Structure 1
């Protein structure tokens, strides 16, 4: 069998390319106002669901993937997911029927879900140690890069109508080609182990997954509510909010590329620093009085997010029982997508308890949320240092 050159740029590019679609589902949100003019018989919440319903499909796809991979293998499962994402991603280009659009969006999510966990777990199959941390940083950057590129494309295509914005999902075709050509159809050590060992999750995997749920539930405030914040405080427009969010993704991407170096420097304190930055960033947003303040707040949130996510993705594969890395990634991603989907409801509920559901209060709730997660991270470090003798996230089970 030909030896795999996992250190080549082409191999890494092909392996990471599927991550470009992981954050692509909500990229068409800017077209929602135009869709409301077409789907006049639907409520505002029903039309907004077009943007969020792929997350439910992703959850279903993750479940299906964990079964399908045993029959097709990892490579064919990824390719099948890309085919599904391609077909149903572009379906709304050709339809004015609300139900066709909403069902195709759900199935787009299923397609993305089929390779969502594999985009993470396959990295740990080919890399380890510091190189794994570096690759996870790259994975986060590529995911942000994909979101940024597609957002800019939507900004251009929206001039031709909301149907045209769904053309962005055609990017699945070149990704499918390069992944299919470069990534070998091999049975690596992780897959072999999965066939001989019943996959399971342990308590650390569950706890990290629950934490990921809250990370995304609080984080999505900046994506969903930024335009509302600018208009509510008369600081800017939705278009300016989109530009600022574009800066956010570029910052996250840049940090992701140097994440390996940062992780070597911060080690177990990476999560503490990340949560601190996100809490500060959201606090600035909650009190922002100008576009400059908003931009600074968003950039700081982006810095923290770029540290937290690759750290979480690396740790989940480290603490999972041997041979259960794919299942652990799947469980975490299910919690992630539930967090994304439920974020508006949860944040509005918590904001209401604090006396207001306005966007500045939403930002304050997110700041408090990351402050709470920061305390948990600090207490965890103290516990591991005092009780476990400094051992940090050791694989068990």
Structure 2
């Protein structure tokens, strides 16, 4: 029996694929509950409590490269659905636990689930879309990431008022992509990993230096930008600007700004070309300096909004370039490598940024913002110079 053709321009199909990206940036937003968790587990260090926010990114590293191999055995859709289910269980279960290590184990389980479905949130776009359609869908994909981030940030700001246990219940948001992806997305046999594995016409997936260069840039970018999510609640308290609950809402607003900037990425990229990455990194540098030196809520919100706007271009541009430089038929592998680096960068963020800031005698939250901002400036200028040289050679 002939398989029915899929209309990839249908918005119900697009929503099903894009819904998976709603969860991409939600795990670190547990940071809003850090002060309450410190009181609940007084025997654990501040660093150990902060690591609960980034711990899922550690287990992602161990599984993300195997997601393609698993998909070859059971198919893309079953792999994604399994990952979403593990994310849901690992996210919500800590609300019913009293032991720090049990909660940490659940956060690791949550990361395993994330490692299963997240590579396909991007690689499925390479399967179904090309050229300008791909550029637009990558922008929408990042838009959905920020939509999930924004909605979840506001939700956590409300839930944390009921205590840290209630805050964990917020991860039940994973039910949304479970339903949308489960009911709206069908992967044709000729595009599924199970079929790809048995087809002699398919080329073996490979990688190259360009893929690792992009992966390294994304690692640095996410490790530094995570400072905004992890340190802002502590910063507003030490600077006596506002409460952690308000800080969570501000982070949600930042995600909304990123969502808007991501939605116009295709048009901006058409104008700025590959210069867009360097410009975005310099824009984030400005935002970090504004936040580090803010003494009022309005100035802090301005700085956070500027960072959110420019960060909205970083991931779409990174993955757009990945589609250009990755070897043919190697989208899943290239995406997995980049996402592994991103996850490792997110996990290292509190360790690396705190360590670097302390080397300069700037261990306060404001100091971490300042040091991270100047690193963004250095990387941004270097990227602009590299791009100019690349265009001149071309």
Change (3 A) 1:108 1:243: same
Secondary structure, counterpart of 1:234 in structure 2: coil
Distance across 1 between alignment mates of 2:158 and 2:247: 16
Please name the residue that 1:214 is paired with.
220
Change (3 A) 1:156 1:184: same
Give the one of 64, 85, 90 matched to 1:62.
64
Please name the residue that 1:156 is paired with.
158
Please name the residue that 2:271 is paired with.
265
Shift of 1:311: 0.7
Please name the residue that 1:119 is paired with.
121
Distance across 2 between alignment mates of 1:38 and 1:233: 24
Shift of 1:91: 1.1
Change (3 A) 1:77 1:190: closer
Shift of 1:112: 1.0
Q: Deviations over 1:282-323 (max 9, x none)?
A: 122232232222111111111110011111122112211111
Q: How many residue pairs are counted as aligned between the two chains? A: 388
Q: Deviations over 1:347-392 (max 9, x none)?
A: 22222232221222212212211111112211221221222x2xxx
Aligned Cα root-mean-square deviation (Å): 1.8
Secondary structure, counterpart of 1:376 in structure 2: helix
Give the one of 281, 297, 302 matched to 2:308.
302
Please name the residue that 1:393 is paired with.
none
Give the one of 246, 253, 275 matched to 1:247.
253
Please name the residue that 1:144 is paired with.
146
Please name the residue that 1:87 is paired with.
89
* Alpha-carbon contact 2:83-2:117 (below 8 Å) kept: yes
Q: Which moved more, 1:62-71 or 1:320-329?
A: 62-71
Distance across 2 between alignment mates of 1:204 and 1:348: 29
Change (3 A) 1:359 1:88: closer
Please name the residue that 1:3 is paired with.
5
Shift of 1:49: 2.5
Distance across 1 between alignment mates of 2:309 and 2:164: 32
Please name the residue that 2:101 is paired with.
99
Q: Which moved more, 1:185-194 or 1:368-377?
A: 185-194
Shift of 1:41: 3.7
Change (3 A) 1:79 1:241: same
* Alpha-carbon contact 1:136-1:313 (below 8 Å) kept: yes
Change (3 A) 1:60 1:104: same
Within 5 Å, which residues of 2 pair with 1:142-221? 142-189=144-191, 191=193, 196-221=202-227
Please name the residue that 1:386 is paired with.
392
Shift of 1:193: 5.7
Q: Which moved more, 1:156-165 or 1:212-221?
A: 156-165
Secondary structure, counterpart of 1:216 in structure 2: helix
Shift of 1:127: 0.7
Shift of 1:328: 0.6
Q: Which moved more, 1:129-138 or 1:47-56?
A: 47-56
Distance across 2 between alignment mates of 1:264 and 1:327: 26
What are the ranges of 5 or more consecutive residues in structure 2 without an aligned counterpart? none
* Alpha-carbon contact 2:357-2:368 (below 8 Å) kept: yes
Q: Which moved more, 1:354-363 or 1:77-86?
A: 354-363
Matched, 1:352 2:355: no
Shift of 1:189: 4.7
